Amino acid sequence: MKTAVLPHLQVFLDVARLRSFSAAARELGVSTAAVSHSVRQLEGQLRVVLLTRTTRSVALTEAGRRLVEGAGPGLGQAFEALKEVSAQPGEVVGQLRLTVPGVAVPYVITPVLPTFRARHPRVEVEVVVENRFVDIVAEGYDAGVRLSEAIERDMVQVRLSNAFRFVVVGAPGYLERHGTPERPEDLLRHECFTLRVPTTGALFAWELERGRKNWRVPVRGSIVTNDNALRLSLVEQGLGLTYAFEPALEDQLRTGRLVRVLEAYAPTVPGFFLYFPSRAQRSGPLRLFLETAKELLMQKG
């Protein structure tokens, strides 16, 4: 009975709202006779009269009024919910939850989201910006963005950017006062602004390379912070050196506010990657985000 009643109930509620069988028929795209038959069917199943009809008007009986007050809001919400989650042919509905480090936002997220949202307006996107290593499965993310060396080997990895370098930089004034380091070990005699590794709490050692040789220099400084903007501000003021993502320094390097040091030792990393567990490939929103990101980001290089 429950399944049979619902279609008739919706027709009845439309008639009650419009106070007209013919108006309800026009809205539903059926004949007036079909609307009248549906209401009679509902009344027969409930064994009550819901509407009084004359040639000029339609009015609710007491039973009809109680049914509208009791069932109307709930059924309306149910139909709205069904409309909200249903998709038109070719349309994707759903949610996409991403974890992204702050440094990647301007290069991976900001260029992609406007186009993605324009193409797929019914996909809700949540971007959580955090610099720690994240277990995306345990914490309920669909995917994450990281450098390749920070990604677990059992994850699918898809490149989103070209390779880039990390460089040591300082302000000209600082280098005039304290000298320019020529070898990695020279950094130990300089004021270096670094950060703590989120997983261990240890100070991050600056990673340098030249040919096949690699260095991890345990630099020290009077200020430790995980905020990139603060570190760069301190360095621009001539207070010390820092180690940074080179594409983020384009303006400072071009204008001469900062200069590279130990450039011959600057390491190159493969780039930013989107990563996710293999089963997540079945997610429509993730697949579409990946398609959009690859189209917009990789064409730049």
pLDDT tens digits for 191-237? 999 998 877 889 999 999 999 999 999 999 999 998 889 999 999 99
Burial class (CB in 10 A: 0-12, 13-18, 19+), 137: middle
Identify whether residues 275 and 293 lie together within a single domain: yes
Among 36, 55, 85, where does a domain finish? Answer: 85
Among 51, 85, 119, where does a domain finish? Answer: 85
Interval 56-73: pLDDT, tens: 678 888 888 888 777 766
Identify whether residues 19 and 54 lie together within a single domain: yes
**Alpha helices per DSSP H over the chain:** 2-18, 21-28, 32-46, 62-85, 113-119, 172-178, 228-236, 250-255, 284-298
pLDDT at residue 5 greater than cutoff 90: no
Identify whether residues 187 and 276 lie together within a single domain: no
Identify whether residues 136 and 283 lie together within a single domain: yes
Give me the CATH number covering residue 186: 3.40.190.290
> In this structure, are residues 67 and 41 in contact, taking their beta carbons and an 8 Å threshold?
no
Higher pLDDT, residue 182 or 61: 182
Higher pLDDT, residue 138 or 231: 231
Higher pLDDT, residue 35 or 1: 35
Identify whether residues 17 and 134 lie together within a single domain: no
Residue 301: the pLDDT is 47
Mean pLDDT in residue range 259-270: 95
Residue 93: the pLDDT is 74
Give me the CATH number covering residue 274: 3.40.190.10
Identify whether residues 30 and 62 lie together within a single domain: yes
Q: How many domains does the chain have?
A: 3
Percentage helix, strand, coil for the chain under 3-state DSSP, each rounded to 5:
45, 20, 30
Identify whether residues 264 and 176 lie together within a single domain: yes
pLDDT at residue 13 greater than cutoff 80: yes
Mean pLDDT of the chain: 85
Identify whether residues 182 and 263 lie together within a single domain: yes
Residue 29 sits at the vertex; the CA angle it makes with 25 and 34, to the nearest 5 degrees, is 50
Residue 48: the pLDDT is 85
Residue 133: the pLDDT is 79
pTM for the full model? 0.64
Residue 1: the pLDDT is 45
Identify whether residues 50 and 103 lie together within a single domain: no
Residue 35: the pLDDT is 86
Among 85, 110, 137, where does a domain finish? Answer: 85
Identify whether residues 72 and 133 lie together within a single domain: no
Identify whether residues 99 and 63 lie together within a single domain: no
Beta strands 94-100; 143-147: pairing state: parallel
Domain that holds residue 239: 164-269
pLDDT at residue 79 greater than cutoff 70: no
Least confident range of 37-51, 193-207, 261-275: 37-51
Interval 92-132: pLDDT, tens: 678 899 999 988 999 999 999 999 999 998 889 999 998 87
Identify whether residues 133 and 120 lie together within a single domain: yes
What contacts 138, CB < 8 A, 6 or more positions away?
Answer: none
Give me the CATH number covering residue 51: 1.10.10.10
Least confident range of 178-187, 196-205, 236-245: 196-205
